[in-house]
Amino acid sequence: MSELQERAAELDAADPLAGKRDAFVLDDTVYLDGNSLGALPRSVPGRVADVIAREWGELRIRSWTESGWWTAPERIGDRAAPLIGAAPGQVVVGDSTSVNVLKAVVGAIRLAGEGRDELLVDESTFPTDGYIATSAARLTGCTLRPLAPADIPAAAGPRTAAALVNHVDYRSGRLHDLPGITAALHAAGALAVWDLCHSAGALPVGLDEHGVDLAVGCTYKFLNGGPGSPAYLYVRRDHQPRFDSPLPGWNSHQDPFGMRPDYEPADGAVRGRVGTPDILSMLALEAALEVWDGVDITTVRAKSLALTDLFLEATAGLGLEPLTPSAHAERGSQVALRCPDAGKVMGELISRGVVGDFREPDVLRFGFTPLYTSFTDVCRAARVLGEVLNDRS
Ligand SMILES: Cc1ncc(COP(=O)(O)O)c(C=O)c1O
Ligand SMILES: Nc1c(O)cccc1C(=O)C[C@H](N)C(=O)O
């Protein structure tokens, strides 16, 4: 056993989250793609089977009330809220992240009020956020200014309505300074909208603590909600009375079953809803969130950093350039390595039982989900990567 393997075995033996691995359906592949699609929690199949057979099959329409389907978006929002540092009543689950980006950004610009006609956006953002920010700017008459997140504090000024920023960059795994950027935007009188897709479930976010205005995120990565599971929208409590959604569907009406022609928004997080929720995915997510019972997100963060530290150390001699910062304060829960022929290298890794992914143009991405990734997995992934590179050279 190498020194690294011995250390990994010791870290696994001392890991307070080690027992959580059994809560997931896993095999002997090393699964390092939970930053794209989280593994299946064992609590999900039985729950989904019951929703289909009993709630839908037997109760049918009665389930909207008797099985709590109608209120699932806000109930599950409250269930997810502690993971992103939000008190109850501010998070609603539904729609995709893309759709929630539109609600949040247009909502933020409307909250910023007259005379503010500039929207800042993270220039390295995940594409969907950029496309939707562009459309949101057109819809509201704002000018869009793409910037590096680190330049946002200096750029925010009296014309700035809001900024849309990714908490963790999907490609590099860089963690951006949510408290600092949010405070700088507030000092300029602007609002902060954060995309939490790559941070929720991997590290403490602290939405309430840092006064974030609006936030969105998906639930199929570190929250393990399943393919296409619904996203969420956070609207800070004091903004809710003035939150003016660009998608005011009947589900966010004060009296949805009044079927009235005039729109009167509901109070609270419900105001972020649009149309009929996707109940099967939503209730699968609710079951998936059970694995978080008793889990402290600071423990998750400590393990995440230890996993990525070990992987960076174990791959340091392979001649690949890490895009992921070495400073803990700047790192999410993935490691991105620049690699010639990255697509082919990843294909080879997958065929040898190590699943990460490849992002254009030359990035190998490895996501570390602390609830089910072991330190021994990290060692094996680094060893197999070394073998693949060696065989290709
Ligand atoms: C940062 C970020 N935003 C948004 C999305 C996509 O959102 P949607 O679920 O709408 O496809 C992703 C991943 O797909 C992402 O990584
Ligand atoms: N949402 C995805 C999908 O529907 C298919 C494949 C991948 C995804 C992803 O989530 C990609 C991911 N957001 C990324 O960071 O690249």
pLDDT value, residue 327 = 98
Question: CA–CA separation, 167 vs 195, rounded Å?
Answer: 6
Q: Output the residue whose Cα is nearest ligand 2's atom 11.
A: 36
Rounded CA gap, 94 and 229, in Å? 8
Using CA of residue 301, residue 306, residue 311, residue 316, what is the dihedral sign? positive
Q: State yes or no: is 238 an active-site residue.
A: no
pLDDT of residue 393: 85
Q: What is the value of ipTM here, to two decimals?
A: 0.97
Ligand 1-lining residues (CB < 6 angstroms): 96-98, 126, 128-129, 166, 170, 195, 197-198, 218, 231
pLDDT beneath 50, residues of the chain: none
- Check if 21 is active-site: no
Do 304 and 173 contact (CB within 8 A), yes or no?
A: no
Sheet holding 118-122, edge to edge: 91-93, 232-235, 214-217, 191-195, 160-166, 118-122, 143-147
Residue 303 has a pLDDT of 98
Q: Give the pLDDT of residue 1.
A: 79
pTM of the complete model:
0.98
Taking residue 360's Cβ as centre, other Cβ atoms within 10 Å add up to 8
What is the best residue among 32, 33, 35, 37 to mutate for testing ligand 2's pocket, by most ligand atoms within 8 Å of CB?
37
Give the pair of three-digit tokens for residue 63.
């389930």
Can you list the domains of the chain with their CATH numbers?
Answer: 3-31+295-392 (3.90.1150.10), 49-292 (3.40.640.10)
Coarse DSSP helix, strand, coil percentages of the chain, rounded to the nearest 5 percent: 45, 15, 40
> Model confidence over 4-16: pLDDT tens digits?
999 999 999 999 9
Looking at residue 359, its pLDDT comes to 93
- 50-108 confidence digits (pLDDT tens): 999 999 999 999 999 999 999 999 999 999 999 999 999 999 999 999 999 999 999 99
| Residue with tokens 């908490």, as numbered in its chain | 167
91-93 and 232-235: which strand pairing?
A: antiparallel
